[in-house]
Amino acid sequence: MQAVILAGGYGTRLSEETTLRPKPLVEIGGLPILWHIMKLYSHYGVNDFLICCGYKGYMIKEYFSNYFLHTSDVSFDMSSNKIQFLNSRAEQWKVTLIDTGIETMTGGRLKRIEQYLDKVFFLTYGDGLSNIDISKLHKFHQDSGKLATVTAVNPPGRFGSLNIDKDNIVKNFHEKPNDSESYINGGFFVLSKDVINYIDGDSTLLERQPMENLSHDKQLIAYKHKGFWQPMDTIREKSLLENLWNTDSCPWKIWND
């Protein structure tokens, strides 16, 4: 399957880092948070990535263009103009990077890549980590028969909320919080390509009208994730993730290498 990663925002709440680079390239343990997200999907056999670029997107392109230089030891023979990679890291990834505009909103970015999308695909943001079981998420979506599955998590109370019924159908999708006990959008979606029909254009926020209308049509279902989930919106949250990475039991590091 294919995983779409939204990586085009300004990341203004993390301006200490994002004045110099796009938020998905902000490093945790010396590696971009984007790399951590891709390693999660890859652990479950998802190696086809479609990355929606925007703000400083050329830096993401340069990162993958020079991936072996970033991740391998290297020997330069200046006399013969040859490069030899030593102990190179080989990922099975296919990475497609599409410029979806500087000011384009989340829904608009998805609509701009419509021609590249599979019939069913994963979608996530380029700034959040979790130990979610991607295989179980996919099966849950398949079994539901719905157009869209959103991962629901219990977080700090500053996020918008999901009102979920006993059958896990999302009854309401509120971007602003009502109470700290509500489930929220955890950012790991499975979507049918038909969701594009709910998006008007560049100015459409996926989390507003499209999700609200999918909810109204009973086409949005919630996969409840009780495990680790943490966004990286502030320098404090970056430090939290950095500290967790440096422990022997980093929650989202479920791969072996």
Domain range summary for the chain, segments of one domain joined by + = 2-245
Name, of 134-143, 148-157, 165-174, the range with top average pLDDT.
Answer: 134-143
Interval 197-215: pLDDT, tens: 999 999 999 999 999 999 9
Q: Is the pLDDT of residue 152 over 70?
A: yes
Percentage of the chain modeled with pLDDT above 90:
77
List helix spans (H) across the chain: 15-18, 33-43, 57-65, 67-71, 106-112, 134-144, 209-216, 235-245
Q: What is the pLDDT of residues 228-249, one digit of tens each?
A: 999 999 999 999 999 999 988 8
Backbone CA torsion sign across 174, 179, 182, 183: positive
CB atoms near residue 97 (< 10 Å): 19
> What pLDDT band is residue 160 in, cutting at 50, 70 and 90?
low
Structure confidence at residue 172 (pLDDT): 73
Domain 2-245: top CATH class = alpha beta
CA distance 96 to 51: 6
Tell me the C-alpha distance between 55 and 212, whole Å. Answer: 27
Residues 6+ apart with CB under 8 A from 63: 25, 32, 70
| pLDDT confidence band for 158 (50 / 70 / 90) | low
Q: What is the mean pLDDT of the chain?
A: 91
pLDDT at 180: 47
pLDDT at position 171 is: 73
Residue 40 confidence (pLDDT) above 80: yes
Q: What is the pLDDT of residue 175?
A: 60
Q: What is the pLDDT of residue 178?
A: 46
Chain segment 91-148, per-residue pLDDT in tens: 899 999 999 999 999 999 999 999 999 999 999 999 999 999 999 999 999 999 999 9
Write down the pLDDT at residue 96.
Answer: 98
